[in-house]
Structure 1
Amino acid sequence: MPEADCPPPRATYRLQLNARFNFAAVEAIAAYLAQLGVSHVYASPFLKARPGSSHGYDIVDHSALNPDLGTKEDFDLMMQALRANGLGLILDFVPNHMGVNGADNPYWLDVLEWGQESAYAGWFDIDWQPEPSHLRGKVLVPVLGDQYGAVLAGGGLELCFDARAGEIAIWAHGAHKLPIHPGHYGRVLGSDHAALEKLSDAFSHLEGFHPHEQRRAGQLKADLAALVAAEPTVTEAVAERLGRFAGMAGELESWKRLDRLIADQHWRVAHFRVAADDINYRRFFNISDLAGLRIEHEELFDHAHRFVFELIAEGVLDGLRIDHIDGLLDPKTYCRRLREKAPRPIYLVVEKILGENEELREDWHADGTTGYEFANLLTNLLIDPSGQAQLDELYRRFTGERRSFKAISREGKLAIMADEMAGELDGLAREAARIARSNPRTADFTRNVLQRALREIVAGFRVYRTYVDAEGASAADLQELESAFTQARRSGRGIDHSVFDFLFSLLGGEAVAKPGSGFSRQDVMRFAMRFQQYTGPIMAKGVEDTAFYRYNRFIAANEVGGHPGHLGASVETFHTANLARHAGAMLATSTHDTKRGEDCRARLAVLSEIPVDFTEATARWRSMLDGNETRPDGNDIFLLFQLLVGAWPVELVSTDIGALERFQERLQLAMLKSAREAKVHTNWAAPDEIYEKSLHDYVAAAFANQDFLADFIGFEKRVIELGAANSLTQTVLKFTVPGVPDIYQGAEAYDFSLVDPDNRRPVDWVWRRESLGNIRPVARDNLLDGSAKLATIAKLLELRRRHEALFAAGDYRPIEMAGDRVIAFSRQHGDCALVVVAARFPGRGAIDGFLPLAHHCPVYGDLLSGRQITPGKEGIDLAMLLAELPAAVLVPQTPPAIRHSQP
């Protein structure tokens, strides 16, 4: 791990920047964030992205600020406000991909214009020699809304001239710029006009300036722009020449000249669905507008980080959050290079989704992950595992679904490989076949059988990827490969085991472990490392974005990095995770990627305590709503009922028509996205309007049914009360265990948001400021109000500010408690100490027993309620301690050494 010369933040506050919430907006809330008690703003990407980007991950220039967020002056004013309030800044940095298509990325446009001769061709992860011969030496550009011929005949591909730049390009649908290679400008400009003829001839002889064709072309473009600006007749002549490439709408034959010009370019424009099969550049997952970067190339690394390193050197940035670390070819080398080249020590966390029992690699020298595993740990801590059997039975009866989550996950991964990322798998199979043919011992392994085997191996992965590199495979890598291959051999029974043996030797590096193997080490390592870049997207799209929307047994557990096949986590598991966590790891409970807000999940956890009541309620609700002629299937209805329970606004009553309509619309949008992601009845590529209308209408019918609303609200009242207790427990634990608490924007109050874009709705900063200015002791009577959560966070952040060493370096000591309902631990550093006690499963009623504190101090103060508590002989009476609130943070009134007796 890195030296402790860059202490981790005390707490971070995640902000999602966009045109509506920009640099000026951050400046305006800086004082509020400081008053809340965080130490750092943790900003979404603010480097230059495609115009209108709602998220900033589609960066087109790493060396500039995003103009949609404001000017350089606006940025400086924001920084002045942050510094004046004692706040640092952490940036969400995107090294894996850039935004492409459109007309905004100059590096991508240069590649389209010059092909492999572009100075930036090596920046993007492009296969210039793919299997389809018509794509060799070209980049597939899948941006058309219809088949190529239909778009061409309909005039959707237009030859245009940029008079200011002197450039000629095809524009697809008026939005996507496809540059014409300058060597073909002569075909467009022709010889009809004397001045144009000279330039036409010059463009047609660029090869004479090799290897400086691009510089020569730039000079000629400038000459063309100047000529057009100086002589109006030239403008008319160019327009006339462009017109010769246009045809008659609907008559494909009339567009032949333009078709031939397009065919000779370094790109092939195609229908967007072609990407699934023929894509020849690595994408971010299956998003064709985000092209993968080869950040492992040091020249590109230096270019992409130059501006960010300047901000670090100037003291503007204190840390980086690395987006999608698993997308990189070599995450370890990337992180090491980042540490080595950063102008000063920084806080460094990585967006890494850990599988069950997977640990962050120590040799990356990162301070920790961004905290998905912690969010799932807390949610599972609140879920009562004793309710799983009844929830399983309810789900089977309600939906008819009897498959396990593991089976549904495998199905989802196979579907993504077949439908959305088949081209990438085909490319891996071709690489494997080329390697096989290079050695007589493996020359008979065909591409087809290798592709079948690879599909089974990828489907069998338990983690997002392995990290085999030039230094070999770690024990953890080999363990995960063996697990995936064991599963693949079972499921791929028709495939000879020798095929799997060969692929294992490639993916584990054994094939070239010794000299004289007969294989190229470069080829084998390239294949193994590219394979690793493929498994992560399949896991993300197949599990997170497919299986999580198909398996609606208990959606609180269907969270990024979650493992919903099993419900619940023991107190021992919680303590073990806290003891193993690095002090710099983020503690997230809501993020821009979570599918439900933290308090929505905490409330849903209550259902695991009352599965019988929930079973009876869902039966009544379904009966009340079954009068609709068309209705969604049981799985989607079961999802709807859970979303209603988890997200129902505390203050919402059936007579508030306006609020009901707003909440109804949120649910309809969430249900639509869920159904499309599930890809069972409808999907994004080919929506089923009839089924989607049935979803929309079913939700509307529920909100229009007064009997249903009355019954639902009667059930919901108890769940809301118990959920509020869970929320407080979750909040207290998050801000007291080892790690760096991260607050997602607005989630210092109750966060009942649904999947994005619902979780990116505007935040009511006025209410939060006012509530923070009127902090009261936390009590039972204000638990239902989000101000109680905000007050708890503010008090705990103030404690962290006053005792930074306690939380940054203090020890964590579990306190053993009888039963499974109480989590207790102490933190101590020198003379500073505290004891945390939190209850779970509030539906079971009061808690009996004692908190065993031997040799304790005479009096403790509860930070939340403000009470003074004096322990008795056996310790502190839990029934008394937790009578009003489900958690307590006990601060000794004199500095003791805390020891614990056994229960």
Structure 2
Amino acid sequence: MKARATVRLQLHSGFTLEQARECIPYFCSLGITHLYLSPISSAVPGSTHGYDVIDPARVNPELGGEAAFERLAAALRDRHMGILLDIVPNHMATHAQNKWWWDVLTHGLKSRYARWFDIDWLPADVSLHGKVLAPFLGTDLETALGSARLCLSPDEPAGRFLIEVGGAAYPIAPGTLMDKQADPAAVVALHDPRSPEGRQRLKELLLKQNYCLCHWNNAATRINWRRFFEISGLIGVRVEDSEVFDAVHQLPMRLYQEGLVDGLRIDHVDGLAQPLQYSERLREAMRLRRPDIDEPWIVIEKILAPNEILDERFRVSGTTGYDFMDQLAAVLHSAKGGRQLTALWKEVSECPDGPEAYVHEARLLMLRRHFVAERKVLARRLCEALQANGAGDQSLESVDRVLEGFLAEFPVYRSYLEGGVATRRDESVIREAQARARSHIKDSKSDQDLLDRIADWLLAGNTESGQPPDKPARTPEQTLARRLAVRRFEQLTPPLAAKSLEDTVFYRYGALLSRNEVGSEPSYFAQTAAEFHEHNARRNERFREGLLATASHDHKRGEDTRARLAVLSEQVDRWRHACAEWEEWTNAEFAHALPRTERYMVWQALIGAWPLDLVRQDAVALAEFGTRVAQWQRKALREAKLSSSWFEPNIQHELLSAQYLFQLLGWPRSAAGILAEKTDKPADSTAVAKHDPDSGAVASLQDFVLGVAPSGAVNSLVQLVLRLTVPGIPDLYQGTEWWDFSLVDPDNRRAVDYPARELSLRAFDTRSDLAALLPHWRDGRIKQAVLHRLLKLRDAYPGVFAEGAYEPMESVGHLRDHLIAFCRQQAGHRILVVVPRLCAQWVSASHEAIPNINMTCWKDTGIMVSADCGGMYRDVFSGRHHHLKAGTTLKAEQLLAEMPCAVLTAA
């Protein structure tokens, strides 16, 4: 069946396929049609996410195995529901239980799988010729040998020997150790690193292997295989090879052919060598297995830059919805407030630079510290290709230098030159990077010329905007050199973009954290209602089956955390005053030791994530909340790579930062220090008991939250209504049918109390006026009720939402820019949607306020009724009827009197 709404579920040993099956009645009652499952293939034991695949052809036994999956699929079919399955074609885990990887380590180039992984068997480093770098040691090799932590060990059941170190095992290549018939104990004794002779024999044995064990920090400069981003635990797979493609997709293709899966979600499509070709091959493979389905349902995880449109050569149904998440957030932020907050951030940071400068700096950091090996391989390939194609005689050093500047300014995740023809979009992207890079090398004519040659070379051949250059056809050698260089280039820009922006700048630049989100860019702060309509109309033309997300397993902040923080863009003066108060509270020690930027971002995290039922007098609940924020804080510090980092953690700074947090929340210095040291464990009860609800800044923080929370809830309901009514398939992230004030993972992957949500739904009267829930809005039932009612509306009018037109409606009056209105219609059925935006000044900030707008503000503001929209309508939330007359204005004060949003169906 066609999907009308999905729910994303994170599967792991703590939430298995069987537990997902138990939730089906609830999801069905809610109005969900498809479970959107995280990867089900066998993963590293204990995996909490499933992306570290060790066997793509087998359902993970920790999830219940294939029998459990079949039971889940059967239970869904019984209720006319289905599955969207997340698959991982880009990488696998470098784990001993990955038989492909183990075979490569054992047999090297002779392995059947030697070409299945993206390994450079002839890198510039001759010591790695025919070998795989294994950067998995906690120390250098000599230290590991000297400490006897690395040793030879017999695996008697398998009749073999292994290298063991740090709890991990590595194989011995055939023929590199003496006769297997020898006494195992004697063999081990001969290689005992506790003696000089044994240590030397063990070292010589290691040198004979098909892998080179070394310290993990060698990976950045020596790695000779493609990683997932900079994670050495995940190796790139050459899925562009047809044999590898078939092996990786064996399980999902079979499940799809058997009708157990309805669609596929493709993880990190930009990491592939040929994503366009891949999408076409996948589409054809699915069509072959289900010829009754013309267009298979395929959605791709793809990050689009602001105003970037998904390349039409992708043969897919759409994206997983990060682009929509950004567009929806942008329309709920004030552009004027964005400028004010940017100015305030420059005061706080004492830095005049905008977010673009932060991105440039982060990209250079990544290229010079984290992706050195990848950059140098690309430079070498590019230099060879330029020389092979007669594009000048330049040194490797100069190519590397200019390439670095070019990569640092690349404006999107990647180009798509794999077909040999540069589209106008590709040409625009490359020329933009060229122009940006030129501004940084303006003092060097030779580097500018080389930059031009690199850009021209990337675009060499046919382009959509001009004729092919008058040059002879390339030789096979030139063609190969070009293909290898382009592939390296296009597989480096995506991880470079992600690690620079999402995992660095988002933790360094803090004008407003709600705009530091996956799929967003801090420089793109807000958009108008007209721009929002344009995006929706474009989506309705081609990507109606793409997902619409406002939360995910990868989000930096929960959807309602962001909605609340968006209010700050409307109340900058109030925010500035509060920050000054909290800064005055900060004592000299913290002010001196902790950068003001870090304190400023902690205040935002506290305001955004503060639970609606949290009161400062509840020391236990406050300590639990403080621990969650402290865990985010530690991750933020390490991702920012300034005061601390994952590679070199500054534990003292992290502890002082957490202590500052707990003192903000009302704990004395000694107790705050104890809580700061135990953020990975249950809070110390003695320390918790020392809490003073009237000390620190906790009273001020709570008052501020209570003041902005009603406006934040209005934003939350608006984004929920829009997600459920604009073109696309709405996706619900697990548990977010109630308020979602989560932070980045692992906070956003906490267990969900589904029985409580099911009980709440059962207690809801489907015929009731939802406005009756507004006085109790803090418990989250109002959000669940709005979701349920709109999902049932989608069920009642499937054609309107799946195929219907999307027509913006004209708003009029002095507050016309504060309304978003549109009509969805198909075959005579019409649904009108009207929601407010940027209305915080007209929402009460009292502690007893409800999330609704003071109707006196609207006055002459309303929606023009077009000729084809006249008639009698019923509001699905309140049940109230409205008679619309063509050519007249439907007043906002009438539409939004009971609820902050209105969805009308023609009666």
TM-score (norm 1): 0.90
Q: Which amino acid letter does the alignment assign opposite residue 478 of structure 1?
A: E
Q: Please say if 1:178 is aligned against 2:170.
A: yes
Q: Is the 8 A contact 1:609 1:841 kept in 2?
A: yes
**Mean CA deviation greater in 270-279 or 363-372:** 363-372
Q: Which residue of 2 aligns with 1:378?
A: 328
Q: Please say if 1:536 is aligned against 2:498.
A: no
Q: Distance in 2 between matches of 1:713 and 1:440?
A: 67
Q: Please say if 1:60 is aligned against 2:54.
A: yes
Q: Which residue of 1 aligns with 2:456?
A: 505
Q: Which residue of 1 aligns with 2:682?
A: none
Q: Secondary structure at the match of 2:453?
A: helix
Give the C-alpha shift of residue 252 in structure 1. Answer: 6.0
Among candidates 373, 387, 400, match of residue 423 of structure 1: 373
Q: Which residue of 1 aligns with 2:192?
A: 246
Q: Is the 8 A contact 1:721 1:784 kept in 2?
A: no
Aligned-pair identity (%): 37
Q: Distance in 2 between matches of 1:367 and 1:282?
A: 28
Among candidates 681, 692, 710, match of residue 654 of structure 2: 692
Q: Which residue of 1 aligns with 2:63?
A: 69
Q: Which residue of 2 aligns with 1:874?
A: 888
Q: Please say if 1:670 is aligned against 2:662.
A: no
Q: Which residue of 1 aligns with 2:685?
A: none
Give the C-alpha shift of residue 433 in structure 1. Answer: 2.4
Q: Which residue of 2 aligns with 1:232?
A: none
Q: Please say if 1:50 is aligned against 2:44.
A: yes
Q: Which residue of 1 aligns with 2:355?
A: 405
Superposed counterparts of 1:399-798, under 5 Å: 399-438=349-388, 442=392, 444-493=393-442, 494=444, 495-510=446-461, 514-516=471-473, 520-581=478-539, 582-626=543-587, 628-629=589-590, 631-704=593-666, 706-707=694-695, 708-775=697-764, 776-779=768-771, 780-798=774-792
Q: Deviations over 1:690-745 (max 9, x none)?
A: 21111111111111162411122222112001101111111111100000000000
Shift in alpha-carbon separation, 1:524–1:714, aligned structure 2, 3 A: same
Q: Distance in 2 between matches of 1:720 and 1:424?
A: 46
Q: Which amino acid letter does the alignment assign opposite residue 185 of structure 2?
A: A
Q: Distance in 1 between matches of 2:198 and 2:586?
A: 57
Q: Deviations over 1:108-142 (max 9, x none)?
A: 11111111111000100001111112111110000
Q: Distance in 2 between matches of 1:509 and 1:757?
A: 45
Q: Distance in 1 between matches of 2:644 and 2:391?
A: 47
Q: Which amino acid letter does the alignment assign opposite residue 67 of structure 1?
A: P
**Mean CA deviation greater in 413-422 or 777-786:** 777-786
**Mean CA deviation greater in 130-139 or 75-84:** 75-84
Q: Which residue of 1 aligns with 2:216?
A: 272
Give the C-alpha shift of residue 508 in structure 1. Answer: 2.0
Q: Distance in 1 between matches of 2:343 and 2:895?
A: 37
Q: Is the 8 A contact 2:58 2:66 kept in 1?
A: no
Q: Distance in 2 between matches of 1:771 and 1:628?
A: 48
Among candidates 365, 389, 394, match of residue 315 of structure 2: 365
Q: Distance in 1 between matches of 2:427 and 2:65?
A: 50
**Mean CA deviation greater in 880-889 or 279-288:** 880-889
Q: Is the 8 A contact 1:286 1:421 kept in 2?
A: yes
Q: Distance in 2 between matches of 1:22 and 1:379?
A: 33
Q: Please say if 1:107 is aligned against 2:107.
A: no
Q: Distance in 2 between matches of 1:93 and 1:252?
A: 49
Give the C-alpha shift of residue 440 in structure 1. Answer: 6.2
Q: Deviations over 1:178-206 (max 9, x none)?
A: 211111132x64xxxxxx26xxxxxxxxx
Q: Which amino acid letter does the alignment assign opposite residue 788 of structure 1?
A: I
Q: Which residue of 2 aligns with 1:160?
A: 153
Q: Distance in 2 between matches of 1:515 and 1:382?
A: 54
Q: Deviations over 1:51-83 (max 9, x none)?
A: 111110011111101111113332222222222
Q: Distance in 2 between matches of 1:43 and 1:440?
A: 50
Q: Deviations over 1:433-472 (max 9, x none)?
A: 2234446662x31111111111111111110000002432
The size of the alignment, in residue pairs, is: 836
Q: Which amino acid letter does the alignment assign opposite residue 492 of structure 1?
A: I
Q: Is the 8 A contact 2:389 2:478 kept in 1?
A: no
Q: Which residue of 2 aligns with 1:78?
A: 72
Q: Which residue of 2 aligns with 1:285?
A: 229
TM-score (norm 2): 0.90
Q: Deviations over 1:308-333 (max 9, x none)?
A: 11101110000000000000010111
Q: Secondary structure at the match of 1:386?
A: helix
Q: Is the 8 A contact 2:189 2:198 kept in 1?
A: no
**Mean CA deviation greater in 698-707 or 452-461:** 698-707
Among candidates 855, 862, 876, match of residue 875 of structure 2: 862
Q: Which residue of 2 aligns with 1:143?
A: 136
Q: Deviations over 1:656-705 (max 9, x none)?
A: 11110110000000011011001011000110112111111111111116
Q: Is the 8 A contact 1:817 1:851 kept in 2?
A: yes
Superposed counterparts of 1:807-822, under 5 Å: 807-818=801-812, 819-822=816-819
**Mean CA deviation greater in 149-158 or 773-782:** 773-782
Q: Distance in 1 between matches of 2:272 and 2:235?
A: 12
**Mean CA deviation greater in 775-784 or 740-749:** 775-784
Q: Is the 8 A contact 2:346 2:353 kept in 1?
A: no
Q: Is the 8 A contact 1:399 1:638 kept in 2?
A: no
Q: Which residue of 1 aligns with 2:862?
A: 850
Give the C-alpha shift of residue 474 in structure 1. Answer: 1.0
Shift in alpha-carbon separation, 1:771–1:724, aligned structure 2, 3 A: same
Q: Is the 8 A contact 2:420 2:461 kept in 1?
A: no
Shift in alpha-carbon separation, 1:621–1:830, aligned structure 2, 3 A: same
Q: Is the 8 A contact 1:8 1:347 kept in 2?
A: no
Give the C-alpha shift of residue 624 in structure 1. Answer: 1.4
Q: Distance in 2 between matches of 1:724 and 1:292?
A: 42
Q: Is the 8 A contact 1:468 1:509 kept in 2?
A: no
Q: Is the 8 A contact 2:805 2:825 kept in 1?
A: yes
Q: Secondary structure at the match of 1:820?
A: helix
Q: Is the 8 A contact 1:597 1:751 kept in 2?
A: yes
**Mean CA deviation greater in 563-572 or 610-619:** 563-572
Q: Is the 8 A contact 1:17 1:43 kept in 2?
A: yes
Q: Secondary structure at the match of 2:457?
A: helix
Q: Distance in 2 between matches of 1:356 and 1:287?
A: 27
Shift in alpha-carbon separation, 1:441–1:667, aligned structure 2, 3 A: closer
Give the C-alpha shift of residue 521 in structure 1. Answer: 1.1
Q: Which amino acid letter does the alignment assign opposite residue 827 of structure 1?
A: R
Q: Deviations over 1:568-595 (max 9, x none)?
A: 1100001000000021111000011110
Q: Please say if 1:305 is aligned against 2:249.
A: yes
Q: Is the 8 A contact 1:857 1:892 kept in 2?
A: no
Among candidates 249, 253, 262, match of residue 318 of structure 1: 262
Q: Which residue of 2 aligns with 1:328?
A: 272
Q: Distance in 2 between matches of 1:387 and 1:438?
A: 53
**Mean CA deviation greater in 858-867 or 724-733:** 858-867
Q: Deviations over 1:554-576 (max 9, x none)?
A: 11001112121132110000100
Q: Which amino acid letter does the alignment assign opposite residue 464 of structure 1?
A: Y
Q: Which residue of 2 aligns with 1:9?
A: 3
5+ residue gaps, structure 1, are: 1-6, 190-195, 198-236, 894-903
Among candidates 816, 820, 837, match of residue 823 of structure 1: 820
Shift in alpha-carbon separation, 1:409–1:34, aligned structure 2, 3 A: same
Q: Distance in 1 between matches of 2:342 and 2:96?
A: 51
Q: Is the 8 A contact 2:381 2:484 kept in 1?
A: no
